[in-house]
Amino acid sequence: MDSMNEKGRRQELREVDRRYLVFYLRVYDGMSSKILGHLVDISEKGMMLIADNAIPVNENYRLRMRLPTQMKERNEIIFDATSRWCKSDANPDFFLAGFQMHDLEQSNKDLVLTLIRDFSYHEER
């Protein structure tokens, strides 16, 4: 989430820093085998996907995300999220979409934190 300040510069409104993953994880729409997109970055409260198609904004989703094979506890997590924004990527063949995650169970929250800790990096601005 960005807003413009008085001088026209973008101002970050995000409460939690994004963590960029070292590889993209598949995110599926519900329990289907339809890939909604691939995870680009994640925080404890939300995530950004890169997708082939535009994703409708302010829609509720039940998402299923594949986890890296190095995470031995489970191979996927299922959670609820709401799409908050969608825009064209720098590559016009793709779209970027932001999601807010809701009411993560503690076991899923722990897996997300492990994912952030072990499989991501923070981009300095």
Q: Residues 77-120: pLDDT tens digits?
A: 999 999 999 999 999 999 999 999 998 999 999 988 888 887 77
CB 2 within 8 A of CB 10: yes
**pTM for the structure as a whole:** 0.77
Domain boundaries, the chain: 18-121
Amino acid at 35: I
Assign 30 a pLDDT band (cuts: 50, 70, 90). Answer: confident
Question: pLDDT per residue over 39-58, tens digit each?
Answer: 988 888 999 999 999 999 99
Q: What does DSSP assign to residue 115?
A: H
Annotation: CATH topology of 18-121? Thrombin, subunit H (2.40.10)
Q: What does DSSP assign to residue 32?
A: S
Assign 121 a pLDDT band (cuts: 50, 70, 90). Answer: low
